[in-house]
Amino acid sequence: MVQAVARKPTSSFSVLIQVYKMHIKQAIIEGYKSYKDQTISEPFDQHINVVGMPLGSMYGKKMFGPFLQ
């Protein structure tokens, strides 16, 4: 489950194009590959976040990306 917050349109042409920004508040991963029952509750930044783990770690960085899609 990913919690996200929708914001009001930020474009100056909001009548023609509506742009909504979302940011992740918390990620709860249940039964997904090697991330079984993990809660990622670090404060997520609204602009950019980096996922980093040691090489050879049991929690692969490649497996985290598809979870967010």
14-66 confidence digits (pLDDT tens): 455 555 666 777 777 666 666 666 666 667 777 777 766 666 665 556 666 66
Residue 24 near residue 4, CB atoms below 8 Å: yes
Whether the model pTM is above 0.85: no
* Order of all β-strands in the sheet with 2-6: 2-6, 22-29, 38-40
